[in-house]
A = this chain, B = another copy of it.
Amino acid sequence: MTPFMPPLRDVRFVLEELLEHASLSLPGYEELEPELVDAVLDEAARLAGEVWAPLNASGDRQGCRRREDGGVEVPEGFAEAYRAYAEGGWNGIGVAESRGGQGLPEVVASAVQEMLHGANMALGLCPMLTAGAIEALSRHGSEALQARYLPPLVEGRWTGTMNLTEPQAGSDLSQVRTLAVPCPDEEGDHYRLTGQKIFITWGEHEAAENILHLVLARTPDAPEGNKGISLFLVPKFLVNDDGSLGERNDVVCSGLEHKLGIHGSPTCALSFGEREGAIGYLVGEEGRGLNHMFTMMNEARHKVGIQGIGVAERACQQARAYALERVQGRRGGAPCAIAEHLNVKRMLLSMRARTDALRALALSCAAQMDLARHAADETERQSAQARVEVLIPVVKAFSTDQAVEIASLGVQVHGGMGYIEETGAAQLLRDARIAPIYEGTNGIQALDLAGRKLARDGGAAMTALVDEVAGTAEALAASASLRPLGESLAAGIEDLRTAMSLVLAQGADPERGADAVQAYATPFLALTGHVLCAWQLGRSALRAEAALAAGSDDGDFYRAKLAAADHGLRHWLPLGRAQLSSIEAGMASLAALDPATL
């Protein structure tokens, strides 16, 4: 199996050349030098490549095991690899210094996450969930809760989970039934929870001392629906006043799911309150649980997009290595590696172009997160936040849909060997396949984009974004050699503007607007994703052209970036533009159809 080489050169290209380290000039980062960022990336690459990546295949093979006592064993080496991560301080790199973290910019933290997920997505899920818990507590927890629970979470000594789903409550969390009853007669300001949660990632394991479950539950007499749901912190082990661990709380893992992929990540059914009720502490306000959850969803969704990119990168590397090594057939009369056959090379280029584009888009979104948090100017912060909120569903859904396709292309490049599990190509496809589903299915992301993010300001934030893309199209058109790329991008922009008008207009219809958004959301997101990715590849082409003109001694790298941009803008973008047809064709036939007759 091809060893995973964290994509340092590509990441640096995005951070330094496309984003020009803009985050480092923000208030609060004055002392952060590019050299330090470099050193962080180097160290992260070492951890990802040398410690995490070698466990990816064995973790997949072994999977997780639930003992009869309810304890869960993760694959060999995972606990140690997790501890190496925690002890290296990686868990806190994106957490504010005031919370005990290193407070590095999100764009750097995201680059690190991508390398870790590319190395081992199943293991990467553990700190990803912890980050969500840190976020929830930091934003909504009382000072007392924060004081007791945040430090060990930030240090990575404890891990966190998100307990949302129940058998009857998946995409529709208003159906949550887990009950949280206040206990005025008991000492301490807590509730007792009873209920069943499913699909809880890293819900039980022994790689850390304690696990903090963040749980959506309903209080007694709470109103039906969303407004009756609150958020609770339920520790696996109760925590004494001095921070030491006390009794085991009344929450147990009642089963592990048998999944298509991410076998190294224990996906648990958790049972709360089988005995006397699990002790839980209210986070934020009663009845605001879903809001509290959603305020941190943006970041979680961004991280899922990053996961997809990590796996896509690994698929690129593995397919390239196999195709360069595997000799079949002839070219110009001589035996050659299959990578030399243009139809195989086309697959490799397509994989690379898409992965590059998705990475640049996701990291540019992270840079906007940095702006939204740290820009000195309030207007700048607000406009960055609006940009982030438009980008997030695209980064989540488009990156993950594409990651599945990229991983599947990776299997195809391997031919028959790709179907054999030992090669590792199939694992990447299996692992990637969860990302379009969790943290809000990609259908939900599309509704978020077409129904909320586009519509809420009448398209203003999205128009501002598209105007910026148009600037890149103009810059490309001004270059003799890149003009065809600029023309292609300009055509994509026109299509996207048309689609925006159609979706806005039809979505505003009081009677049929909701249906229109449902019908058009997925093609609209796909079109948006294609145009934004093409934008990033266009920017990349401009940088590459400039570097080559300046006589860069890394010519191969920049020439490959030009080839990727050519592929992305002139071969791949047209597929996305075709999504407009679907919106223009309308929804009459779909709306009238009885799905039971299909």
The residues of A with any CB-CB pair to B shorter than 8 Å are 165, 168, 170-172, 175, 198-199, 257-261, 316, 320, 323-324, 327-329, 337-349, 352, 404, 408, 411-412, 415-416, 418-422, 426, 429-430, 433-434, 436-438, 441-443, 446-447, 484, 515, 518-519, 521-523, 556-557, 559-560, 562-564, 566-567, 570-571, 574-575, 577-579, 581-582, 585, 587, 589-598
Q: A316-B598, A412-B441, A416-B438 are in contact. List 17 more A-B contacts (CB 8 A).
A: A170-B415, A172-B328, A198-B416, A260-B411, A260-B419, A342-B515, A342-B591, A343-B446, A343-B522, A344-B443, A345-B593, A348-B598, A416-B437, A419-B434, A560-B594, A570-B582, A578-B578
- Which of A327, A342, A429, A446 has its CB near the most chain B CB atoms (within 10 A)? A342
State the Cβ distance, A425 to closest chain B Cβ, in Å.
Answer: 9
Q: Which residues of B contact A412 (CB under 8 A)?
A: 436-437, 441-443
Contact status of A171 and B329, CB under 8 A, knowing A342-B587, A557-B597, A574-B578: yes
Is A571 a contact of B582 with CB atoms below 8 Å? yes
User: Which residues of chain B are near A341, meaning CB under 8 Å?
Assistant: 518
On whether A349 and B563 interact (CB within 8 A), knowing A170-B416, A416-B199, A571-B582, the answer reads no
The answer to whether A433 and B446 touch across the interface, beta carbons within 8 angstroms, is no
A562 to B421, CA, bound (A): 42
CB of A314 to closest CB in B, whole Å? 14
Instruction: Say yes or no: A566 contacts B589, CB within 8 Å.
Output: yes
Q: Assess A418 versus B430: contact at CB under 8 Å? Given A348-B595, A349-B593, A585-B570.
A: no
In the complex the two chains form, is B420's CB within 8 Å of A257's CB? Answer: yes
Contact indicator B589/A562 (Cβ below 8 Å): yes
B348 touches A521 (CB 8 A): no
Q: A175-B328, A323-B595 are in contact. Are A258 and B434 (CB under 8 A)?
A: no
Residues of B with C-beta under 8 A to A260 = 411, 419-421, 426, 429-430
CA distance A72 to B154 in the complex (A): 52
- Kindly list the 10 A-B residue pairs having the minimum CB-CB distance in the complex, ordered from nearest: A342-B518, A574-B581, A339-B595, A570-B585, A566-B589, A578-B578, A172-B328, A260-B426, A571-B582, A574-B578
**Residue from A257, A411, A589 whose CB has the most chain B CB atoms within 10 Å:** A589
In Å, the complex CA distance between A484 and B586 comes to: 12
Distance between Cα atoms of A474 and B595 in the complex (Å) = 30
Q: How far is the CA of A421 from the CA of B258 in the complex (A)?
A: 6
Nearest CB to that of A427 among chain B residues?
Answer: B260
Cross-chain pairs A/B with CB under 8 angstroms, 18 sampled: A170-B416, A171-B328, A175-B328, A198-B416, A199-B416, A258-B421, A260-B420, A342-B518, A343-B518, A349-B590, A349-B593, A349-B598, A412-B437, A415-B437, A419-B434, A557-B597, A560-B598, A570-B585
**Chain B residues within 8 Å of A560, by CB:** 593-594, 597-598
CA of A521 to CA of B341, assembled, Å: 12
CB distance from A444 to the nearest CB of B (A): 9
Nearest CB on B from A576, distance (A): 8
Chain B nearest Cβ from A8, distance in angstroms: 16
Query: Please, which residues of chain B bring their CB within 8 A of the CB of A426?
Result: 259-260, 433
Query: With contacts A412-B441, A433-B419, A597-B556 known, is A170 near B339, CB below 8 A?
Result: no
A171 to B328 Cα, complex, angstroms: 7
Given contacts A175-B328, A257-B420, A329-B172, contact A590 B578 (CB under 8 A): no
Cα-based distance from A199 to B419 in the complex (angstroms): 10
Question: Is the CB–CB distance between B597 and A324 below 8 Å?
Answer: no
